[in-house]
Structures are given as structure tokens and as C-alpha cells.
Structure 1
């Protein structure tokens, strides 16, 4: 029997409490940086499994299981929910008004808790150190930073490799991996531009920030269409433009809310520089009485998988699940803050996708060409991964990926 199968031998007997864990978490979601009860549950379980447990970054929890000489592997799950009103109709729907696990973090917690239990019970099949890290506030891009700022790299052993997964609207029973960029960097920016207010009947007495903001919106379109090299990727979205409160008063300022997505650090830097250049140029041309202001927030780092780590983990997945269950992951324009953790340690990582859609439902949608319409995506009020086999696959994926470094065979 392989080390994978040795550690996973009792998985079926553990799935009962893991399903209960998942439905309990789904019923009681907690928003970013408010994951107090979730953290308490995680901490109690890890301590019961024999882990040395530390609270880091407010509601973050880290369990360390030292098991002799060997590599150190860090596995991460995020814990926060979203301000979304659930519409799934599931018997275990959220009981918190306006809050829902609409991104699968409840499943991530459950899968890593299951893996932590099996790794503790199967210590005879591996050697090294296993770190189970439960991170808060992924949805607002603040949780990994909070843990790093709270001294994560000094409070736990330095890992040799870091691992994470995310349930996605792809067929359950599959995983998907890729080397290089898998999730985009994401930046939001609030831009305030200034004018001179006046009565609507006397526009010549004003510097109109509404016209100025409109000019900026149009000029920003050239960043992707004319400044980004064909083949490179960038998205610049103006999600909000706010100015004034009534029809006959020209206001004295306007605000724009932008979102940026990129797969390359140099492209990101150039896009940000172009935004600031264009905004300042338009303000100067309009005769703005004050310099514009830029406030960057909700910033997510690029998630770019290490090639060697991804190759090793993918090979382990193929050996355990079979090649038909392991697919190539397409790049996603969603963003994550996981990579700040391995980057803080200076270690390589891989982040894979976990299928969560009933396979028959998915195949039917593909056949009809209605995947976008029929398969709810993450953050939808209808998002609901099927528990089986998604939960079992999530546990197995964590165990197999870790054992590709820690097992005696490895």
C-alpha cells in the first residue's frame, strides 16, 4: 500500500463529521476579520489532533505538527464569508442575514481540517513537519497581510513549500493545476479629482469635475487598447463615478473607483503609472485647482505557481486520482492573497483548483452551451458546491500534495 493510501485509509470513516463540519460552517458564516467562532472551532480541533496551535493575525489559526526529520510543508485554507444573501434553498442555508459562504471557504476549512486529522493519525507513513494554516479575510485581501504583520514568519517553522486550493465551478471529482500565473493581481483605486463649483446656469464660472471625470473615463480606455502589448493581459474597469447631488449645481469634486487586473508585475506597474499620468494630464488640461488624489486599496498579489512544485504535485495527483481526473487549469481573472504567505517566507508554492459542480449537471450545460447561465460561479447567491465528492477530493488533494514531499516514498 502506498503512503498516500496508508494515510487516507480512514477517510471514509472521517467524512461523517467532516460533512457536519461543512454544513455547520455554511449555516454560520462570518465576514472578513470577524471569524471568531470559526477560528475557535478550528483551534479546538487542531489541538485535539495533537497540533501545537497559535493564533496569528487576529482570527488566523496555525497548527504545527512536528514528526521527525524531513521537509516542512505549509497548507492553507481561507475562512471568511461574503456579504451575500443566500438563494440556494439548501437545508443547511446560511442562518445569518445577508452573509453567506458564497465562495467555498467553508469547504476549504473542512477539507484542511480533514487533512490535518489524517496527517496526525498517519504519522507512521511520513516524516517532517506539517503546518495547517487557516487564514482570515481573504475576500478583502487583508488576512494574509495581517498574519505576516503579526510575525507569522517568526512564530512558525519556515516551510520548504506552501500549498493551497480553491473550489471552482468545474466538475466535482477533478482537480486542475498549472505552472506560472493562475490568478491575476488585483488592485482597486479611488481617484478624487477637483474642480470649481458653480450654478448650473453659469458653467463658465466653474471647472466642471463631471466633464473632467468623463474625459478621464474615456482616456483610460487607451491603456489596454493602445498601451498594452498584444498578447499581454490587463483589465482596467471604472466601476463607479460619483459627483454632485442635484441637476443645477456643478460640484467641486468627483470620485472614480477603478479596478485593475494583471498577470505580470511589469504590466501592473505600467498600468498604474499610465492611470496616474492620464488622470494628472486631464486635470491639468481642465484647469483643475488641485492635484488629484489616489487611494489604493483591496490589493491582491499575483498568484504565480512555481513550475517545479506544480510538476511534483500534479504528478502525485495523477498517480493517486488518475490522469483523467487531473486537468490543466486555465488562468483565472479572479484574485487571491494566499501568495503573500509563501512570499513572506521566500518559498515556492502551488495553488490548484478543485471541482465543485455535479459532473452530470456540468456535462449537460456544456452540451447546451449554457455553462455561464446554468452553473453559478463563486460569489453568486446560488453558489453551492456539491458536498460529495468535492469534500473527499479536497481532503485527498491536501494529503496527496503534502505527502509528495513528506512521505517515506518521496
Structure 2
């Protein structure tokens, strides 16, 4: 009996036409749209999906989300997600396809927009992988689900797709995959099991004081001073309450107070972005934040307790060792020395909402996109943090040579999972058949938290 061809060998021999990828990428890069407002981007993706009549396409899931399904006989069902929203960033690159686009944000303000996190790259790569998988159907069997997800930057896109009935239009996956481009040597593919991206807790806090004329501070409870003391005290959480061997970030990302130079306002707002790998440590730090903020308000003589609003809560991205075990050998064969270990990344992702909703294992890996000479020069000079634009930087720009690499990685990853064995629905449910769509309880467990703090 002839052994099945390896994923790397299958992809190496593909005759799929990918000549369209670079033009598509440049179009998407030049026309980024903000989270939840990706109407034109979704329309362009739908146009590109017409290349693949074999795939069942369902648009407008959870807003502008799109699902495409290719059924190719018996076998596992593998879901691959790509996001496609941009950021309110003014691009500072000098390429001829740099974004000059702007858009109204949720507050009605016109802001510049940019694909500063590589979501245009993710989308183009997944479409290319679809072309490869379509072309190589005689070498694999099973079902592939391609998910094009909006609003990742707002941490709500995956959740909206799930709650809008994603499970009713796609077969329940056995495993979920995603990849993300990062600053790193162009073409290097990074994988690891376990926690690779942090959880994210975003908190908006309103501090209440008592307003007065700026010339009469004794008549006030000054929320500006209260905010300043609170911001400084919050810096002690990581330095004094987190064990030295643990990872935590508590960043005060914005402070707002007052509108006039002769008025002491009656309130101030601060917004916190917090990152953790460990859930127990996250809870401990959130409790510390509440304790410090309330204590500072009492110390300032505030007559009203602060308000806490949790506007985003994402769990850590915790890669499955089983999925890693299936993919890493395939990547090692496909990329050789450029298949290497992924270091934990302090950014956060809403991708795990999808596999958690279906109760299946998952893996997210990263692909380096910085030109090799630029990276090596920065390493030699000890200037990586200075000279290499990272995600969300106005100068972040993937090297075009990495489009084929990410496309190949996506296709190899899917094929490796199609050739692997995964727990059945009965095994996942502990002996009872699991439903074909997520239950309300499963959805609640991965929901983005929007309620106020107790």
C-alpha cells in the first residue's frame, strides 16, 4: 500500500495559479476599513471567492463575516480563520500602494486607516491556500472551512460570527487553525504549544470628584489629581504584587479630564489595557486594580465610588500540544531551518473564541515579514526595538516575498490536520454526542464581557 504524500510534497507540486495574489494584496492594503465597517473589503473578498465555485460561500455572518466550505469526501473538518479589518493609523511607508484611505469612526470622526497588523496579508494568504487545496483535491479527503472574520481589532468579530449562527452554516470543525504575520526574519514560520498570546482585559474607569472654578481648588474634589495619583499607584501592581517569574502588563492607555483651562471638572476617565497568560493572575490583578482605584478615591475625599466598565475580555491563546504535534513536522519538512520555535507574544487575539465555541483544539502560528537584510542589520546594531516596525506601527509593512510563504504555511497546516486523527464528537462530549452547533452555554463561555464591574 502506497503511503500518502506528505503535506509539503502535495503543496510543492501544486499547479494552482497564484499570480493574482500580489495585486489583491496591494488593493486590500491600499483600502483598509475599520472594525465593523469593512463593507467594501467584504465585497472584494466575495468577488475573489468566485474563483472557487466548488466552495459553498455564506456572506454576512455577524456583520461582514464570510464562510466558505469545501467538502471532499470522508475525513476531518478543518477550519482556518483569516481576519480582514484595519486600524485607525496613518501609514508612513513610501510604497506606491500605501493607504491614503480615511473613514468615519464610531464617534463620527474622520480618521486615517491602515492595515498596520497584516490582516490584508492574512486574507490574501488564505485565499491562496484555498486555490492550492482546490487544485490538490485528489491528494486529500475531508472538509475545509475558510473563515474570513471582521472586527478582530475590536475583539468582537469572532464572537459575533458565533452568536449570529456560524455553527448553522458550517459543519462542526474537528480542529481550528490561524496564522499571524509579525516583525521577524521574512519567511520564518514560528510554532509552539501552550500559551503563545496573552489574555486581554480592557477596563474603562470613571473617577468622580466635585467640580469648581480653577481659582478655587479648595472648593473641589479634583478628579485630575485623583486620576494622576491613581495612575501612579497602578504602576505598583506589576512591580510589587506580581511574582518576578510571572508575566503581567497593566497599562494606563488613556486619561481624559476637563474641557476648559479655568474649570476643575467633576469627573475623569482612565482606560486600562491588561495582558496575562495566567487566568488566576489576571483575576488577582483585576482585584488589585479595583482595590487601588477605590482606595485612591476615598483618600481624595470623593463622595461617589468609581465606575468600572469592562469593554473587552479575551482569553489567552493556548495552543494545543496535539495540533502542534501534527503541524510542526509538516512545517519542518516544508520550511527546513525556517521552521522554528515561537516565543510568547504579549498581544491578544479573539481567534480562540471560534475553537472554544465548538469545543475543539486549535493552533495559531506566526510568520516573519521583515526583510532579512533589514532585520540582520538591526540585530548587529542592537536596534531591533528602534529600527524594526512592529504590528500597529505606521511603518509596519510585510515584505511581498512572504505572501507565498504564508500561503504555503496555511495550505500545509490544513493538509497536516486533514491527515491526522481528532477526537470524535462523542469523545469531546465525554460519551454523549455533542450538538452540531455551539450551545448558549458554550457561547456565553467565550463571550466578550461588556457588563460593569461589581
1:83 aligns with 2:67: no
Aligned residue among 353, 359, 362 for 1:346 = 359
Report if the CA contact (8 A) 2:84-2:123 is conserved: yes
Q: Give the Å deviation of 1:95.
A: 4.1
1:143 aligns with 2:157: yes
Counterpart in the other structure of 1:19: 22
In 2, the alpha carbon distance for the partners of 1:133 and 1:182 equals 21
Report if the CA contact (8 A) 2:142-2:418 is conserved: yes
1:175 aligns with 2:194: no
| Correspondence list, 1:55-134, <5 A | 55=59, 56-97=61-102, 98-134=112-148
CA 1:3 to 1:138, structure 2 compared with 1: closer, same or farther past 3 Å? Answer: closer
Q: Deviations over 1:32-65 (max 9, x none)?
A: 1122222223223334411111121110111011
Q: Give the Å deviation of 1:14.
A: 2.4
- Worse-matched range after superposition: 37-46 or 327-336: 37-46
Q: Give the Å deviation of 1:128.
A: 0.7
In 2, the alpha carbon distance for the partners of 1:189 and 1:409 equals 41
Q: Deviations over 1:81-106 (max 9, x none)?
A: 11222221112222424222111111
Aligned residue among 9, 20, 36 for 1:5 = 9
Aligned CA-pair RMSD? 2.0
In 2, the alpha carbon distance for the partners of 1:145 and 1:246 equals 40
Could you say what secondary structure the match of 2:18 adopts? helix
Report if the CA contact (8 A) 1:153-1:344 is conserved: no
Could you say what secondary structure the match of 1:336 adopts? coil
Q: Give the Å deviation of 1:248.
A: 4.4
Counterpart in the other structure of 2:405: 393
Counterpart in the other structure of 2:308: 294
1:225 aligns with 2:239: yes
Q: Deviations over 1:120-172 (max 9, x none)?
A: 12111111110111100111112111111212223211111111111111111
Counterpart in the other structure of 2:345: 332
When normalised by structure 2's length, the TM-score is: 0.85
Q: Give the Å deviation of 1:305.
A: 0.8
Report if the CA contact (8 A) 2:11-2:408 is conserved: no
CA 1:294 to 1:318, structure 2 compared with 1: closer, same or farther past 3 Å? Answer: same
Counterpart in the other structure of 2:379: 366
- Worse-matched range after superposition: 217-226 or 136-145: 217-226
Counterpart in the other structure of 1:43: 46
Report if the CA contact (8 A) 1:127-1:408 is conserved: no
In 2, the alpha carbon distance for the partners of 1:408 and 1:376 equals 37
Structure 1 unaligned regions, length at least 5: none
Counterpart in the other structure of 1:255: 269
Aligned residue among 26, 31, 35 for 2:34 = 31
Count of aligned residue pairs for this structure pair: 407
Q: Give the Å deviation of 1:234.
A: 0.9
CA 1:352 to 1:207, structure 2 compared with 1: closer, same or farther past 3 Å? Answer: same
CA 1:211 to 1:24, structure 2 compared with 1: closer, same or farther past 3 Å? Answer: closer
In 2, the alpha carbon distance for the partners of 1:241 and 1:94 equals 29
CA 1:246 to 1:93, structure 2 compared with 1: closer, same or farther past 3 Å? Answer: closer
Report if the CA contact (8 A) 1:125-1:408 is conserved: no
Aligned residue among 45, 54, 57 for 2:58 = 54
Report if the CA contact (8 A) 2:8-2:330 is conserved: no
Aligned residue among 356, 360, 373 for 2:369 = 356
Q: Deviations over 1:176-223 (max 9, x none)?
A: 111111111122211111112233444333222222222222221221
- Worse-matched range after superposition: 273-282 or 51-60: 273-282
- Worse-matched range after superposition: 359-368 or 194-203: 194-203
When normalised by structure 1's length, the TM-score is: 0.94
Report if the CA contact (8 A) 1:78-1:105 is conserved: yes
